[in-house]
Amino acid sequence: MIKARSVSDKIFDCFVYFIVALGCLSVLLPLIYILANSLSSPKDVALGNVLFWPKNFTLDIYQYVLENDSIGISYLWSIIYTVLGTLISISLIFLSAYPLSRRDLKGRGVFMFIYVFTMYVNGGLIPTFIVVQALGLYNTIWGVILPGCMGIWNIIVVRTYMSTAIPWDLQEAAMLDGADAFRIFIRIILPLCRPIFAIQILFMAVGYWNMWFKPLIYLVGEDRHPLQLILRKMLIQNDMDNIMAGGVGSSTGAEELLYMSEALKYATIVVATLPILLVYPFLQKFFEKGMVVGSLKG
């Protein structure tokens, strides 16, 4: 027999629903506002007539974004940085986490201390810049991708998942059958790590996709800047002249150019956010299992 819920329990449920709804609105309303402005006429956007519903619906600004050379090139570089950076980061994280998860690794505690120590003590920006320059990585895509590509926190989470979710007896049985460490890693560990694997891919991809500071520091010129850095110039520095030069004809009036520059900001934000919004639903089911199990104990 199900016990009837008390008044205090119902009040608490209402409070929880209210907080969750408030959190959802705080996330959804800015997205709806940006989307509505990107689908409205540039004049209505510039005059501030758009709130949460498009006015004078049009896709002209998206056509301009797709035809703009600087935005298209930066979008391509963002994809390159994200794909290469994610592949390298995931490889290094899992190759580092697997030995640390094995009980037969001698000096495992010492290695973990060294890893964790780097989380709290680091050289800072200027020494890192000097190292990148000394290694010949300055003004290359590797200078953007490699520094900081192996997150210690991610290694700890993956290592904890491997040591808690995958029984050690399974690996011992494989070793008794003659399997070496590499074969165990490929045939047993990786297939059983799909939830945490998907989570780490999402974390790394989002981090590289939203990256703008390292390209700003380590790249000379704007020919290899990612989309987020272009977006930063639009929103913070208000540098619209060079960005709009690739897609606006000479017949465009000054007033229309001003209107378009305001609408362009919202459309570019949507284009920059869309890939992550499309990928996230496919990986959401792995979040609970991957993150909860991977963070139960260190």
pLDDT at 296: 47
Tell whether 17 is covered by a domain.
no
The answer as to whether 32 is a domain residue is no
Name the domain count of the chain. 1
Q: Is residue 75 part of a domain?
A: yes
pLDDT of residue 87: 93
Lowest mean pLDDT segment, chosen from 45-49, 212-216, 230-234, 294-298:
294-298
pLDDT digits (tens, 9 = 90+) for 14-33: 888 999 899 888 888 888 88
Two structure tokens written together for 197? 């694997």
Say yes or no to pLDDT of 161 above 90. no
**CA 21 to CA 27: how far, in whole Å?**
10
Let me know if residue 23 belongs to a domain. no
pLDDT at 88: 93
CATH number assigned to the domain comprising residue 154 = 1.10.3720.10
Per-residue pLDDT at 259: 67
Mean pLDDT of the chain: 80
Q: Which two tokens stand for residue 39?
A: 């689908």
Which stretch of 120-124, 133-137, 226-230 has the lowest confidence by average pLDDT? Answer: 120-124
In the predicted model, is pLDDT for residue 210 greater than 90?
A: no
Residue 242 has a pLDDT of: 54
Print the domain residue range for 290.
Answer: 59-298
Looking at the domain assignment, is residue 38 inside a domain? no
For range 131-152, the mean pLDDT: 89
pLDDT digits (tens, 9 = 90+) for 40-58: 877 777 777 778 888 888 7
Residue 40 burial (CB count, 10 A): 22
- Collect all residues with Cβ–Cβ distance below 8 Å to 263 and sequence separation of at least 6: 37, 38, 40, 41, 42, 45, 46, 61
Residue 35 belongs to a domain:
no
DSSP code per residue over the chain: -PPPPPHHHHHHHHHHHHHHHHHHHHHHHHHHHHHHHHTS-HHHHHTT--SSS-SS---HHHHHHHH-HHHHHHHHHHHHHHHHHHHHHHHHHHHHHHHHH-TT-TTHHHHHHHHHHHHH----HHHHHHHHHHTT-TTSHHHHHSTT-S-HHHHHHHHHHHHHHS-HHHHHHHHHTT--HHHHIIIIIHHHTHHHHHHHHHHHHHHHHT--HHHHHH--SSTT--HHHHHHIIIII---HHHHTTT--TT--HHHHHHHHHHHHHHHHHHHHHHHHHHHHHHGGGHHHHHHHHTS--
Higher pLDDT among residues 183 and 231, named by residue: 183
Q: What is the model's pLDDT at position 263?
A: 75
pLDDT band at 295 (very low <50, low <70, confident <90, very high): very low
Task: Say if residue 220's pLDDT is above 90.
Answer: no
